[in-house]
Structure 1
Amino acid sequence: MSFMDKAKDFLDKHDEQVDQALEKVGDEVDKRTGHKHTAQIDKAVDEAQKRTGSGDTQP
């Protein structure tokens, strides 16, 4: 099993935790940029959550 296969397997098994981590990172980036790019950051987080794991994403 390649590294990429292992990474995908991890993301699939831990989708909820990955989605939560992405949300926290997005919130921190938004805070550090003075909330000037909130819509773009939210869109990027949503897209990342769709592409990681096979479970449900966070709202």
Structure 2
Amino acid sequence: MVSGKRIADVGYKLFSGSMMLLTVYGGYLCVLRAQRYMQKQKQLQLAAQNESTASETIKD
């Protein structure tokens, strides 16, 4: 027969394992979001540079 301590140990290991997986998955999502943010900022900066060079060539 399985003792209560054994069931508690297995339950704890399952719970802590799932929390570790959730933490890793949350970090992965955070990294993805940061990469998208940086990429968007780079695109906006390039668009602003292209707009400023286009307006300079029109003035000349």
The TM-score, its normalising length taken from structure 1, stands at: 0.37
Answer with 1 or 2: which has the greater Rg: 2
1 or 2 for the larger relative contact order (CA 8 Å, sep ≥6)? Answer: 1
More helix by share: 2
The TM-score, its normalising length taken from structure 2, stands at: 0.36
